[in-house]
Structure 1
Amino acid sequence: MLHNNSILVLGAGELGMAMLRSLVRRRAGVSVPSVAVLLRPSTIDSNEPHKRKDIDELRALGVELIPGDLSGQSAADLATVFARFDTLISCTGFVGGSGVQRKIARAALGAGVKRYFPWQFGVDYDVIGRGSAQDLFDEQLDVRDLLRAQDQTEWVIVSTGMFTSFLFEPSFGVVDLARNTVNALGSWDNAVTVTTADDIGALTAEIVFAEPRFVNEVVHVAGDTITYRQLADALDALLDRTVQRVAWSVPQLERELAEEPGDSLRKYRAVFAAGQGVAWDKNQTFNAQRGITVCGLEDWMRQNLSTDADAWLQAT
């Protein structure tokens, strides 16, 4: 099978777009003849303004658009598509539902791609282990088992922690600006690692091209690692007032999940409240060891909350 040292990214959502921009920037001077992205045909042909904007940007970057459907196509069909490429980077998220991550991994292995970066841009699933509140995490461990059980395709897993923006997502409920409240998951001393999508894209691009090469390992990165107490303190300083502080205990969150066992956000809250595999020492990360500047929590808050906070303060 002929490999041409080209890269295929799966998906062009928030992380996929950041990944593609970074790969195109980073490949300058490197022998990478092409960067491509797999998208649904309906996305490529869409007339929706935000999708057209992304498609136009990708074309301007010189990214090849490959039609495909990760949910609808079989592993064998996907393997045929993947076989053209040397490196495969999955930026699909969990939107495809149960079984899709295993299917993509089987397709990658069946295609004989030289190197695979699976969708594992999140917590450390090995530390969390099987049987956690978030059942999708068990599938992530299935993917790791598939990769570790073979020696034909190199793999690299990039553990990033939570997307920084998700920590402030109103539906997640940790930062509730409307109620001037921070809700700690588990306890105030529990920590969480967060990284922005842009930094995940940039750091993964660095890992892709790093020498010596990363082979068959988990690489940790971090924009920041903070406790919920530090998060509340940072909001106090930014907003120049004191936010209310409420600790959501593990038993409380487990009871709430039992009441709505299919609620994905309640699953996430329970996992993060347990405090295992969701935070690591920033000083021990790839970016810290390489001296790469990233966006910390307070940087992100200043860039993204100042306008919202001003409006919120006027309303209160």
Structure 2
Amino acid sequence: MSNRVLVLGAGELGLAVIEALARHPKRRDSTIAVLLRPSSGSSANTAKSELLRHLGEDLNAVVETADVVQDSADSLASIFARYSTVVSCNGMGLPPGTQTKLTQAVLQAGVAHYFPWQFGMDYDAIGAGSSQDLFDEQLAVRRLLRAQDAVDWIIVSTGLFMSFLFLADFGVVDLATKTVRGLGHWDNRITVTTPVDIGTVTADVVLDPLGLQHQVVYVAGDTITYEGLADLLDKHYQTVFKRELWDLDVLKKQMAEDPNTMVKYRDTFAQGRGVAWDKAQTVNAQRGIPVTDVAKYVQGLGRP
């Protein structure tokens, strides 16, 4: 029986996974499908037309349509049941409860393999009640999966999207002001990976999951300290970046003044738990899959 893979979502990560699956040498007779939301409005339809063309003509992928937020678990399960593997790339910005509903729909459908939206931190190590309240639902998803053995599951922990490090609103690197900020301590580490590399490694595990079922696996483009990041930027740009430490007291004050999503992320990462791991223990290292590290990524950035 051929592998039938359904990817939920075709955003930055979803498209990276779909493209990697479509071009993987082990795809063979696997069917690749993507679940998209119904679109509305002329601008949305124009963008979606190009996406559909790319999916169908370039990637030979099938398209399913559903709304993971509005549709019921029963409705979603009826679609999932047609596939042997479901990979959830729907995560950022979805309302609370969506991830648990998707997991319940997967379990109801009885798919053989599930890759939930866990492309981030080691939520077990972070634990419940962190500043980033969205993480508690990730733990709820893990409890659902661990409480059963009918559906094989693999959680792919990838750390932070590498681009996030250089997002001015996040605050770690502000190229415009040539500033690097350490979260918690300068020697705290953070693991980062590009979405393209996440897609490549995830596709490899989807098409060759041998020995990895029912567990958390790790991916890393790089694991770096905030001090190491500052040194790297100084060297690359041949200048001296201003260094500013946002320790736990500073972040506690930020949380009190405006506990927005970015501040919650900062405070969670500053704790130094579950946000970094050695590259030697990763799937990409064990399988010899090349990935982009921070030094290589910085080469593609413009001048500050």
Compute the TM-score of the two structures, normalised by the length of structure 1: 0.92
Contact 2:21 2:27 in 1 (8 A): no
Contact 2:39 2:48 in 1 (8 A): no
* CA shift digits 1:89-111 (9 cap, x unpaired): 00012321111000000000011
Counterpart code for 2:159: G
Contact 1:133 1:271 in 2 (8 A): yes
2:98 and 2:249 mapped to 1: Cα distance? 31
Contact 2:27 2:207 in 1 (8 A): no
Q: What secondary structure is seen at the aligned counterpart in 1 of 2:213?
A: coil
Match of 2:95 in 1: 97
- Residues 288, 248 of structure 1: alpha-carbon distance in 2 compared, 3 angstrom cutoff: same
Contact 1:224 1:297 in 2 (8 A): yes
Q: What secondary structure is seen at the aligned counterpart in 1 of 2:39?
A: helix
Correspondence 1:44-55 to 2 at 5 A:
47=44, 49-55=46-52
2:275 and 2:104 mapped to 1: Cα distance? 27
2:78 equivalent to 1:80 = yes
How many aligned positions are there?
303
Q: What secondary structure is seen at the aligned counterpart in 2 of 1:41?
A: coil
Q: How many percent of aligned residue pairs carry the same amino acid?
A: 50
Match of 1:269 in 2: 266
2:299 equivalent to 1:302 = yes
Which of the residues 161, 164, 181 maps onto 1:163? 161
2:204 equivalent to 1:206 = yes
Match of 1:16 in 2: 14
Compute the TM-score of the two structures, normalised by the length of structure 2: 0.95
Structure 2 unpaired stretches of 5+: none
- Residues 49, 72 of structure 1: alpha-carbon distance in 2 compared, 3 angstrom cutoff: same
CA RMSD of aligned residues (A): 1.7
- Residues 52, 231 of structure 1: alpha-carbon distance in 2 compared, 3 angstrom cutoff: farther
- Residues 51, 165 of structure 1: alpha-carbon distance in 2 compared, 3 angstrom cutoff: farther
Post-superposition offset of 1:48? 5.3
Bigger mean CA offset, 50-59 vs 143-152: 50-59
- Residues 101, 291 of structure 1: alpha-carbon distance in 2 compared, 3 angstrom cutoff: same
Contact 1:44 1:65 in 2 (8 A): no
- Residues 259, 157 of structure 1: alpha-carbon distance in 2 compared, 3 angstrom cutoff: same
Post-superposition offset of 1:49? 4.9
Structure 1 unpaired stretches of 5+: none
2:138 equivalent to 1:140 = yes
Which of the residues 225, 228, 233 maps onto 2:226? 228
- Residues 259, 17 of structure 1: alpha-carbon distance in 2 compared, 3 angstrom cutoff: same
Counterpart code for 1:14: E
Q: What secondary structure is seen at the aligned counterpart in 1 of 2:21?
A: helix
Post-superposition offset of 1:71? 0.3
2:66 equivalent to 1:40 = no
Bigger mean CA offset, 119-128 vs 210-219: 210-219
